[in-house]
Amino acid sequence: MTDKEILEQLPYSKPFLFVDEILKIDENGVEGTFFFDGDLEFYKGHFKDNPVTPGVILTETMAQIGLVCLGIFLLNYKLNKRKLISLTSANIEFLKPVFPNEKVTVISEKIYFRFNKLKCNVRMLNEKNEEVCSGTISGMMVNIKQV
């Protein structure tokens, strides 16, 4: 499965797509990027006159790149309307802010993938190669009927 095919299978679209490119991917992990454009809607209210990327958006970015892209690759699976990758847990530590117009790199390393559950160590780096957040994220491939 190519990087382009993985990106096409993501179940997101703008304004909730937080993956620009996959730099590398294999059975052990993935590395990808996203640019936080200063015109994104959430910056208008978080925080007034000093916008910062919300932690929930950073977590979502890490999940989309580090869990969903890797899950699609590992399953070599074309998502359809009956299946989705569902976040089951996240434990993230936030170390530095991410401001508008910053590009981040997400690096994910698989801890395990069994019984359709994927667990990864994930970290996010800013353009200075500083770690801005890190932790573990888990998710499962589920049928919509199960949700």
**31, β-bridge pairs:** 24, 107
> Which residues are identified as catalytic?
46
Which amino acid, residue 107? Answer: I
CA distance 70 to 93: 21
Kindly state the tokens that stand for 130.
């500083």
State how far the Cα of 78 lies from the Cα of 7, in Å rounded to an integer.
11
Going from the C-alpha of 133 to that of each of 76, 92, 112, 136, the distances in angstroms are: 28, 7, 21, 11
Classified as helix, coil or strand, 92 is: strand
